[in-house]
Amino acid sequence: MPRQVDYEDRRRRIAEAVCTLIARSGMEAVSLRDVAAQANVSMGAVQRCFRTKEDMLLFVLEHISQRVSERANQRIATASTPQAAATLLSHTLAELALLDEGSQTQARVWLAFITHASANEKLAAVLHDTYAKLHELIAWLVRYGQNTGEIPQHLDPTREAHTLLAVADGLTVHVLAGHHSPEVALSILRRHVDHLLQ
Amino acid sequence: MPRQVDYEDRRRRIAEAVCTLIARSGMEAVSLRDVAAQANVSMGAVQRCFRTKEDMLLFVLEHISQRVSERANQRIATASTPQAAATLLSHTLAELALLDEGSQTQARVWLAFITHASANEKLAAVLHDTYAKLHELIAWLVRYGQNTGEIPQHLDPTREAHTLLAVADGLTVHVLAGHHSPEVALSILRRHVDHLLQ
DNA sequence: ATGGATATGATGCAAGTGCATCGGAAAACA
DNA sequence: TGTTTTCCGATGCACTTGCATCATATCCAT
């Protein structure tokens, strides 16, 4: 038996390297050589992990999609003290919008993939899936708010969730475009959520 | 005196070619050779028009920024029959969100530039400028709606404009990501504007 | 016509790309 | 320890890239 390697782990480490490179200088600047160097492995190792570059990028998208979803879900699941639905909603959306300083990298990567998805069916499929899940999550939170009486019953949770997600993603774009600072974006987001309540 | 060429016109034609290519297969797939072929000129002509590829891309961004702004402004200026402020607002935002089928190309290009701007200061400056102008435009429309009595006085036009622009851009992203059809996105946008009125 | 300034486009070039290949290193068994 | 099986990483290869070069074609004032 030959030496065994934890491929999943290595794949994740390579994915992180790819994200770093994409955030630093855009998706077209990602070459297999640079990825290998950034991940501190040889090019051969990268090639062994992923059959082609396209496969690699697909894995990276799935990786970050999963991370975003998981973080949002955990934020809700681990709410130790029973929080107001509005707070939960606001915090979850802020997380999804990748507003805090440390998430700027992920925001860049996310947008890069959206841009690319227009020209790549597989990437588009992953994105479609992820957005469906995120929408479901937000709609659930809105319904929860209606149950606690914080959000008016007459609102359609599905529709409101669509708007909320749009605001969140729009603000992500605005921060990336330099139109807003993360702080301002956050306050705009909060105000929109508060507006739901009255 | 040698033969004279209308450089501005040629630059615009080349810019259109670049947009077509970006929309078709992403920004990294844009090579000078492809641009020349698409614009039906020789590579030498492209090189004469733009000192470097970066210069070319910068011009393209300025070009489409201008086009978007102009279209939105004209939409307002040429409103022959005095329209309801709400209608004007809704239509203008729909235009900015590049929702209709024919604008998908521009949406892709726009997003590609936003993605790139993170790694390029000059592009970022142009984007910043454009967004500032667009925000001003929307805020003006909100104030106009307040003057006609359609929009409640107690709302802050600046803040509302920020949210409106975020919804518009968020929907652009969602359509591009395949999360919404343009029609659904439009209805979400309309509903959000209607929500302002009551 | 003619001279001269300018635009053109084919070609060259070094650098970088993704991917294929393969000799040998490394580890788990016997 | 020796064998076997997997993995690694250096190298090669065909191709594309952005940009520089330069002989040629093109046009205008004389």
Predicted confidence (pLDDT) per residue in B91-143, tens digit: 999 999 999 988 999 999 999 999 999 889 999 999 999 999 999 999 999 99
Q: Work out the pLDDT band at B80, boundaries 50, 70, 90.
A: low
Residues A73 and A46 in one domain: no
Per the domain annotation, does A4 fall within a domain?
yes
Angle between helices B121-147 and B104-117 (to 10 degrees): 120
Cα separation of B66 and B4, whole Å? 26
Does residue A145 fall inside a structural domain?
Answer: yes
pLDDT beyond 60 at B40: yes
Task: Determine whether B61 is exposed, middle or buried from the number of CB atoms within 10 Å of its CB (0-12, 13-18, 19+).
Answer: buried
Cβ-in-10-Å burial (0-12, 13-18, 19+) of A131 comes to buried
Range of the domain at A13: 1-50
Same domain, B119 and B21: no
Asked whether residue B1 carries a pLDDT value surpassing 50, the answer given is: no
Is residue A149 domain-shared with residue A83, that is, in the same domain? yes
Average pLDDT over residues B12-18: 96
Is residue B103 within 8 Å of residue B172, measured between CB atoms?
Answer: no
- Residue B4 confidence (pLDDT): 65
Return the percentage of chain B with pLDDT > 90, whole number. Answer: 84
Structural domain includes residue B23: yes
Nearest-CA distance B22 → chain A (Å):
10
Q: What is the pLDDT along chain A (198 residues), one digit of tens a residue?
A: 556 778 899 999 999 999 999 999 999 889 999 999 999 999 999 999 999 999 999 999 999 999 999 999 998 888 766 678 899 999 999 999 999 988 999 999 999 999 999 889 999 999 999 999 999 999 999 999 999 999 999 999 999 999 999 999 999 999 999 999 999 999 999 999 999 997
pLDDT of residue B3: 58
For B169, the closest of A23, A174, A192 (CB atoms) is A174
B82 beta carbon < 7 A from strand C? no
Does residue B95 share a domain with residue B68? yes
Is the shortest CB-to-strand distance from A191 to strand D under 7 Å?
Answer: no
Selected residue with higher pLDDT from A83 and B90: B90
pLDDT, position A101 = 87
Shared-domain flag, residues A32 and A124: no
* pLDDT over 90 (residue B6): no
Contact B117 A174 (CB under 8 A): no
Helix, strand or coil, per DSSP, at residue B95: helix
Residues contacting residue A51 through CB under 8 Å, at least 6 positions apart: none
B-chain CB neighbours of A171 within 8 Å are 166, 170
A43's enclosing H/E stretch is helix A43-49
The CATH number given to whatever domain includes residue A9 is: 1.10.10
A114 found inside a domain: yes
Nearest Cβ partner for A159 among B29, B114, B191: B191
Average pLDDT of chain B? 93
CA distance B135 to chain A (A): 10
Cα B126 from chain centroid (whole Å)? 12
CA–CA separation, A50 and A152 (whole Å): 50
Please enumerate in sequence order all residues whose Cβ is within 8 A of that of B119, keeping only pairs 6 or more positions apart, or say none.
Answer: A24, A25, A26, A29
pLDDT of residue A154: 96
Whether A195 and B190 have beta carbons less than 8 Å apart is answered as: no
Q: Which CATH number characterizes residue B143's domain?
A: 1.10.357.10
Which CA-bearing residue is nearest the C1' of D16? B31
The pLDDT, as a whole number, for residue B97 is: 97
Q: Is the CB of B44 under 7 A from strand D?
A: yes
Within-domain flag for A56: no
In a domain, B8, yes or no: yes
* Same domain for B97 and B42: no
Whether A31 sits with its Cβ under 7 A from any strand C atom: the answer reads yes
Q: Say if B172 falls within a structural domain.
A: yes
Same domain? For A76 and A117 the reply is yes
In B110-167, the DSSP E strands lie at: none
A135: in domain? yes
- Tell me the pLDDT tens digit for each residue of B159-189: 999 999 999 999 999 999 999 999 999 999 9
Residue nearest to nucleotide D26 (CA to C1'): B3
What is the reported pLDDT for A99? 95
A26 with A99, same domain: the answer is: no
Using CB atoms, pick whichever of A25, A168, A191 lies closest to residue B170: A168
In this structure, are A44 and A77 located in the same domain? no
Q: Is the Cβ of B1 closer than 8 Å to some Cβ of chain A?
A: no
**Is the domain of B98 the same as that of B190?**
yes
Through-space separation of residue A22 CA and nucleotide D6 C1' in angstroms: 32
Q: Are residues A184 and A108 in the same domain?
A: yes
Measuring alpha carbon to C1', the residue closest to nucleotide C27 is: A3
Q: How many beta-carbon pairs below 8 A join chains A and B?
A: 134
Q: Which residues of A touch B191 (CB under 8 A)?
A: 159, 163
Please check whether residues B162 and B183 belong to one and the same domain. Answer: yes
Select from B31, B65, B162, B192 the residue whose CB has the most chain A CBs within 10 Å, as the one to mutate to test that interface.
B162
- Per the structure, the count of domains in chain A is 2
